[in-house]
Structure 1
């Protein structure tokens, strides 16, 4: 099992605690050794001073014995005293040399001291032997050297005392700091341990709560759910399972004893799920429910590991799809019926298109005859025709011409639904400018104020989109004929998923209650004598925009202009 982050943190803190304890012990041990060494050197200085004092005392004893021997020349005890004092010098000097072996300056001073002591003792020996020369004050002869020795040792002793005091203070500080760090780390360790215990308790509480919620959810599910072991005995079921099969939720009941679970193939598949750790998906079968009704169900199963049971087990779910299967059968039947209706409608559309195309073509020849004979009639009558007859001939010719235009527009409208879209990037800015220039060449004597917004590049059929803009701009110029100057606005707005375009004019407008008629075939809201046209332009616009996946609508007010809106999808959502 991999260690968790909390365990790693705990181990790291314990390691830090042990490291600090070890470092504190090492530092204290080192400071203790240094302190002992300082005390040793301090004792060494005291020994040197004590030896110097002993040397001075021996010299004073030697000088006193020398004077006593002059007062009592034959006194053996005085002679013995003198000899003992004389014998003490060399050991004391050797001790001084040994004590100061690491100090060259002191060694040099001891050499001077030895020489002066030799001179002083020699003179005292002569004095003791009875010579008349007065004995010098031996202590005065070596006083300057011993004073220098004592002064150096006192300086060394003072310096070593300060070092010793500093090491003691440092040792105390290290001990206190180490103790504080150990206490802090110990507190952190205890806090983390408490936190870890609290987390574990919270996790156990959450697990118990999750188990409770899971059981509540399973009980609330309306699909039958069961847990079975390798012997296909029920370990646990929800209420829906017992209600569906009409059994008590008794643990240990054999699944094969439940009505509907005696299909040998299904039972073998369940054993494979548990024994071979397989999964069973969408096994469709028929079973009897508690009421004896035959139900169509789907069985799913997968192996699971239960935390409180060591035996292998599988989770089995049952979905009643009887109603769905019945609905699917109804949908299939409706689809069959709908397919037949679609074929009928398609055939009718084909017949209508063929009829429209045939009628349109068949009407052209009579119209040409009517227009031709009307023209011949005018020619035949010549100057003899009266005004009424000439008027009749003009009406016949104009009606034939209008009927021909209607037929042409009807054929164009019919072709809009038959031709496939040729999708490509279309620069609407350039397209609109091209259409606008073409239309303005026919009305050069009019003043028109244009407001054209920046237009994007879209995906569509260039020829059909040109027809859209041609119809919209032609209508705008047509219905603003009475305005001087006329105002036409071409707008654009990007709404994210779709792009909205509009053409607004300040022409005659229309009543909004007739707005739906604008886009119908041959639907006009104004008389043909007022504004020319066949009434197919806006119908063509709506059909083209619908094939491109967009929508069209109109807004207007009588005498105040009209606005025609249409949208194009931002993405290539094009209808074929």
Structure 2
């Protein structure tokens, strides 16, 4: 009851009754004073001027109370009007912000009646304010099964939900987030739904799945093709051995049996046949090695590259007629297949040996450092080097940057090195300068081990 009286006072509803009360009491006081002044048995005070003065004071007090009450009422009404204007202004700002949002937003009360839709939501779903959401959006007579908003009302937590919407001939995919709206006491009074159009994301996901299926199919086809090529290469290499052996044997027999009969031209032709057969044999061995590198099973283990390099260096020194300085660290650990890493070092160290043949003080170094947090191994020499504009040609099979007369070889060694590094998930590259040597670097990213920097 006191709250109702206070509310009426704020609205100014007591202003007129209070004024009427003051006037009535004043008139009553005047009337009483007049009556008492004509009664002989009345109180002496009532017949004197003091009583009239007292009545005037009462009237003045009542008028002052009424004035203060009127002033306070006017102030309350002004403050209430200002508060109402501020509230409307803030509400207008919030509405403007929500209407400016790209994502559709709506509010439903706990009876699932739509009480607000921003502009984006009305454009997407139509204006359904005042309707029940399940009837407006789905045409249902009751709450939709597995309603995410009902779950939010039940447990007070946000819930995500994906839905699709047919718009003409197109299908729009939506992601809906429902969140509880609470009053000052924490009670849930409504639910907020924020909608995001995820159609582009869904289309991208479908495209990615399609591309993945295509890539898987291409990978299977490529693997089958590689197996066929490797089988062909291995078979062809073996099949070439028999006729090649016959050619070489016949050439040697001709040279030995008819050495005295053949003139210089004859001996030159016979020697050319034998040399070509030997080179062909080297090519076949290189192709077989490349084929085996691509198809062999890998056994990953920790490998110290230094003992392998020492053995290769000793074989090169023993088979040559010159001395080369090999600079090796005390230990150089790597993770990979021991057999493949041995083939890799045989090719790199063998190349360095070969291309330092014209150097005054030939030097070959094996070492490692760090590159982008990954161990980077290198083989460096001070030999013939190469022009960096031709660097992309180095690892192509049968591609040579130098004359075979100056530096004989098959042109398959560096292609083999690249294949081995790729099987270890790494990279290989080269740096060089004509006449100043070359450095071949490689990483083994799939099986990286920390190493101490060398060189």
Same fold per TM (> 0.5)? yes
**What is the DSSP-based 3-state SS (H/G/I as helix, E as strand, rest coil) of the residue aligned with 1:414?**
helix
Map Cα deviations across residues 213-243 of structure 1 (whole Å, 9 max, x no partner): 9999876653333332320123555543233
Deviates more, 1:368-377 or 1:233-242: 233-242
- Contact 2:156–2:188 (8 Å) recurs in 1: no
Q: Distance in 2 between matches of 1:263 and 1:512?
A: 77
Q: Distance in 2 between matches of 1:518 and 1:223?
A: 56
Q: 2:113 — aligned with what?
A: 233
Q: CA deviation at 1:302?
A: 4.7
TM-score (norm: length of structure 2): 0.69
- Contact 1:425–1:457 (8 Å) recurs in 2: yes
- Contact 1:229–1:311 (8 Å) recurs in 2: no
Q: 2:68 — aligned with what?
A: none
Q: 2:30 — aligned with what?
A: none
- Contact 2:104–2:120 (8 Å) recurs in 1: yes
Q: Distance in 2 between matches of 1:358 and 1:459?
A: 32
Indicate whether 1:224 and 2:113 are aligned. no
Q: 1:407 — aligned with what?
A: 284
Indicate whether 1:269 and 2:156 are aligned. no
Q: Distance in 2 between matches of 1:540 and 1:427?
A: 21
- Contact 2:299–2:337 (8 Å) recurs in 1: yes
Q: For residues 34-433 of structure 1, what are the structure 2 equivalents within 5 Å?
A: 222-247=102-127, 254-256=132-134, 258-260=136-138, 262=140, 266=144, 269-270=147-148, 272-277=150-155, 281-288=159-166, 294-303=171-180, 305-307=182-184, 310-433=187-310
Name the CA shift for 1:410/1:221 in 2 (closer, same or farther; >3 Å): farther
Q: CA deviation at 1:427?
A: 1.6
Q: CA deviation at 1:366?
A: 0.7
**What is the DSSP-based 3-state SS (H/G/I as helix, E as strand, rest coil) of the residue aligned with 2:150?**
helix
Deviates more, 1:373-382 or 1:391-400: 373-382
Name the CA shift for 1:288/1:355 in 2 (closer, same or farther; >3 Å): closer
Q: Distance in 2 between matches of 1:213 and 1:561?
A: 73
**What is the DSSP-based 3-state SS (H/G/I as helix, E as strand, rest coil) of the residue aligned with 2:404?**
coil
State which structure, 1 or 2, has the greater radius of gyration over its C-alpha atoms. Answer: 1
1:446 corresponds to which of 322, 342, 364 = 322
**What is the DSSP-based 3-state SS (H/G/I as helix, E as strand, rest coil) of the residue aligned with 2:436?**
coil
Q: Distance in 1 between matches of 2:352 and 2:199?
A: 61
Please list every run of 5 or more consecutive structure 1 residues that lacks an aligned counterpart in the other structure. Answer: 1-210
Q: 1:471 — aligned with what?
A: 347
Name the CA shift for 1:294/1:366 in 2 (closer, same or farther; >3 Å): closer
1:461 corresponds to which of 328, 337, 362 = 337
Map Cα deviations across residues 80-105 of structure 1 (whole Å, 9 max, x no partner): xxxxxxxxxxxxxxxxxxxxxxxxxx
Q: 1:503 — aligned with what?
A: 379
- Contact 1:446–1:484 (8 Å) recurs in 2: no
Name the CA shift for 1:274/1:363 in 2 (closer, same or farther; >3 Å): closer
Q: CA deviation at 1:351?
A: 2.3
- Contact 2:286–2:410 (8 Å) recurs in 1: yes
Q: CA deviation at 1:520?
A: 0.8
Map Cα deviations across residues 63-118 of structure 1 (whole Å, 9 max, x no partner): xxxxxxxxxxxxxxxxxxxxxxxxxxxxxxxxxxxxxxxxxxxxxxxxxxxxxxxx
Name the CA shift for 1:376/1:566 in 2 (closer, same or farther; >3 Å): same
Aligned residues: 359
Q: Distance in 2 between matches of 1:376 and 1:487?
A: 41
Q: CA deviation at 1:270?
A: 4.0
Name the CA shift for 1:277/1:503 in 2 (closer, same or farther; >3 Å): same
- Contact 1:224–1:241 (8 Å) recurs in 2: yes
Please list every run of 5 or more consecutive structure 2 residues that lacks an aligned counterpart in the other structure. Answer: 1-90, 450-455
Q: CA deviation at 1:348?
A: 2.4
1:512 corresponds to which of 378, 383, 388 = 388
Name the CA shift for 1:395/1:498 in 2 (closer, same or farther; >3 Å): same
- Contact 1:497–1:571 (8 Å) recurs in 2: no
Indicate whether 1:552 and 2:435 are aligned. no
RMSD: 3.4
